[in-house]
Structures are given as structure tokens and as C-alpha cells.
Structure 1
Amino acid sequence: MSAFIESYSFGNIVIKGNSYNSDVKIINGEVKPNWWRKEGHRLYPEDITDILESDCKVLVVGTGAYGVMKIDPTVEAACQEKGLKLEAYKTSEAVKRFNELMASGEKVAGAFHLTC
């Protein structure tokens, strides 16, 4: 079985044969392109409302090639409240982790910042 996310490089991610040049979310295997946040380099609960409302059990966040995007503590609290396990990595590592979880059949969501 091929990886769900085929590749990632600064500013580009290839998912199931489609190339994206802006941040993306993936919820239950569905790609949500052109993901914008309230603040570009900070993640808040309102930026991931659709993930919080999903039945996913794990959220993998890609914080950018250099880990510049910070996760506000309110996101951790919101995930805990929903029983959603939060994992955050630089985006290249987040892609690997997301693919591992998808391959194992886990109900996983991803939120990937593609640049800094």
C-alpha cells in the first residue's frame, strides 16, 4: 500500500497524487486544502473546529519545516476535552507519523503548515 501523503518539501505536499502549495488539513482521509489560521504562525482551537467535531482519535500537527508554528495551550485543552490525542512535530516528521497512523487503521486527522 502506498503512503497516503506521498511527499513533503518546503511549501509543497503531495497527497494521493494531488499537489498542494498551501497549508492543508486531512480529516478521515478527506483533504481540506487552503487552510488558513486566525494567526499564520499560531494554532488556536477555532482553526481546527472541524477536526475537534470529527470522530478522529489522534491529531497530528505539522508545525512547519522549521517548527515555527506554535500551538496555543487552549488547543491542548480542547483536544483533551474531546478525547483527541495531540501530536506535534516539524512537518516532515508529522507526515511520517500521519502515514504510520493511517497505515495502522487509526482514525487520524492532520493539520500541516507547509512553510516556515
Structure 2
Amino acid sequence: MITGYRFGKIVIDGKPFTHDLILIGNEIKPDWWRTESHRLDIEDIRSVIEEAHPTILVLGAGKFGMMKVPEETKNWLTAQGVQLIVETTGKAVKIYNRLSETQNIVGAFHISC
């Protein structure tokens, strides 16, 4: 469970992280890098989606929502049967915590802007 978030820091079960990350159930994939910092391309998430087969991807797009998702990525996720939820990271953390109790979801969090 995500127990805290502020600009540049996310806390999971009491452990702080200062870089973007992905959550798959109880597994933490730290230091998540993308092809472009403020853009979510298919290649940035393909392996995670193919590994976890989630029904939902919750994307924390940064404190100010600066990360964008191109239509190509949205369409690919839909074709994989994955619902995409994009919110500012603060809102995404709350959604992730609520849905992770009952859903097979992946959370991807951009923790800065």
C-alpha cells in the first residue's frame, strides 16, 4: 500500500522512494525510466502489461499532471483489455490504494512534476 506521497517522494509500506516507479501487486519496480520523461509510450509499459495482465493501469501523471499519454498508447492498452486511469499522482495514489484491494491492477507513478 502507498502510505505517502509528496513532490519527489513516494512511500510504500513505510519505505521511501525518490524516483518514478511501477507497482505490480506487492512487487515494486523502482527507478522507472521512460523514452521521454513526460510521455508514456507503449515501450515504456509493454513488458509490465504483458507480465502482469492487469485489467486496470493507474497512471500518476505527476504532481501537476505533466505526463501525457498519446492516442497510440491508449489504443494499445485498450486492445490489451486494460482500462487506463490517468490522474495527478496525488489522486492516482488514492485510486490505486482503493482499487488494489479488489482488482488486478498496475500502478505507474511519476513522482515529480
Cα distance between partner residues in 2 of 1:48 and 1:28: 15
Alignment of 1:86-105 (within 5 A): 86-103=84-101, 105=102
1:13 maps onto 2:4 in alignment: no
Matches within 5 A, 1:1-116: 4-53=1-50, 54-103=52-101, 105-116=102-113
TM-score by length of 1: 0.93
CA distance in 2, matches of 1:26, 1:49: 14
TM-score of the superposed pair, with normalisation by structure 2: 0.95
How high is the sequence identity, in percent, across the aligned residues? 39
Give unpaired runs (5+ residues) of structure 1.
none
1:50 Cα deviation after fit: 2.3
Contact 1:28 1:56 (8 Å CA) reproduced: no
Residue 28 of structure 1: how far off its partner (Å): 2.6
Q: Alignment partner of 2:100: what SS?
A: helix
Local SS of the residue matching 1:62: strand
2:85 and 2:43 mapped to 1: Cα distance? 18
Letter in 2 for 1:67: G
Q: What is the DSSP-based 3-state SS (H/G/I as helix, E as strand, rest coil) of the residue aligned with 1:99? A: helix
How far residue 33 of structure 1 moved from its aligned partner, in angstroms, is: 0.2
Between the aligned partners of 1:29 and 1:106, the Cα distance in structure 2 is 13
* CA spacing shift, 1:50–1:29, aligned 2, 3 Å: farther
- The number of residue pairs the alignment matches comes to 112
Unpaired segments ≥5 residues, structure 2: none
Aligned partner of 1:102: which letter? S
* Residue 74 of structure 1: how far off its partner (Å): 1.4
Q: CA RMSD in A?
A: 0.9
The amino acid that maps onto 1:52 is I
